[in-house]
Structure 1
Amino acid sequence: MSINFKNALGIHPDALNVRSKRSEILANNLANSDTPGFKARDLDFKGILQGEYENRQRMELSRTSQRHIPAEGVVMDSSLKFRIPHQPAIDGNTVETNIEQAEFAKNAMDFQSSFTFLNSRFTGLVKAMKEQG
């Protein structure tokens, strides 16, 4: 009997990848909290895991005149959104340090939860394989 890893592990391997990418984005927001004009960004985590962005990564450009410069397409990261601040700074920076730190901590806890789940699943799968062998 073969093991189907997709069924055994569920969405957790993908969640780890997305949460890792999100931690980089949140860390970048925190690193730029004093940069004038910097716009805080975040991932649409639910949308990514539901596969909403798989078919939207490319935007085809059309020409309305033969004199326009042809363009094949533009790759867009549509899963990355700008965060709307509660209190925007005068210098145009939208990073709110307390919110970014809270989101970073929550993301780290969610990452750890998925990692712990996967670890227990792998432990169970290894145990099942040893018992069959």
Structure 2
Amino acid sequence: MFNSGAYSYVDLLTSAADYSWRRSEVLNNNISNVDTPGYKRQELSFESVLSDAVERAGSSSRNLTQTVRNIDYNCVRPTIYTDNANLSYRLDGNNVDIDTEQVELASNQLYYNGVIDGINQNFSRIRTALTTT
């Protein structure tokens, strides 16, 4: 089968967009539980999962393009974990700080917009290549 790798970066960016979408859900859930006694904030691990996948894919290659092509995106599954590192200073045991969550949500939105712009630019280059030939 023809494998040019033209969509390798799109696959990588799609994984990043999926992560950002899920992270916004987790952050919104934290915000909605800001007044729930005993609730512990949750977070999504993606960077470490992606880093491990890149290491596995690039162990035999120093070329970034080849490494991106070799990533098994089925293994890049972010997982939700409870953030117990943030100690609660509240009497009810809740460790959600609304200001932190809102900043993280805004940052995540900017990240998502950047990833989507990257996907659009990649498809725009492919579209340009197809129409100019």
TM-score by length of 1: 0.71
Asked whether the 8 Å contact 1:85–1:96 carries over to 2, the reply is: no
Q: Which residue is 1:119 aligned to? A: 120
1:23 equivalent to 2:27? Answer no
2:93 aligned residue: 92
**Deviation digits for residues 89-128 of structure 1 (CA, Å, limit 9, x no counterpart):** 1101111111111111111100001111111111111111
Q: Please tell me the residue identity of whatever aligns with 1:100.
A: E
Question: Which structure 1 residue ranges, 5 or more long, are not aligned?
Answer: 53-76
Q: Distance in 2 between matches of 1:46 and 1:7?
A: 18
1:47/1:79 contact within 8 Å kept? no
In structure 2, distance between residues paired with 1:8 and 1:103 = 25
Q: 1:10 to 1:20 in 2, by over 3 A?
A: same
- Deviation by residue 1:30-62 (Cα, 9 ceiling, x = unmatched): 00000111110001120232356xxxxxxxxxx
2:43 partner SS: strand
Determine the structure 2 residue equivalent to 1:79. Answer: 79
Counting matched residue pairs gives 108
Specify whether residues 113 and 81 from structure 1 end up closer, same or farther in structure 2 by C-alpha distance, changes over 3 A only.
same
TM-score normalized by the length of structure 2: 0.71
Q: 1-side partners of 2:12 and 2:94: how far apart?
A: 35
Q: Distance in 2 between the 1:129 and 1:97 partners?
A: 48
C-alpha spacing 1:111/1:49, structure 2 compared with 1 (3 Å): same
What root-mean-square deviation, in Å, do the aligned CA atoms of Structure 1 and Structure 2 show? 2.3
Helix, strand or coil for the counterpart of 2:18? helix
**Partner residue in 2 for 1:129:** 130
Deviation at 1:9, TM superposition (A): 2.5
Q: How far apart are the structure 1 equivalents of 2:44 and 2:30?
A: 12
What residue number does 1:68 align with?
A: none
Larger helix fraction of residues: 2
Which protein is bigger by CA-based radius of gyration? 1
User: AA paired with 1:18?
Assistant: Y
User: 1:22 and 1:9 mapped to 2: Cα distance?
Assistant: 19
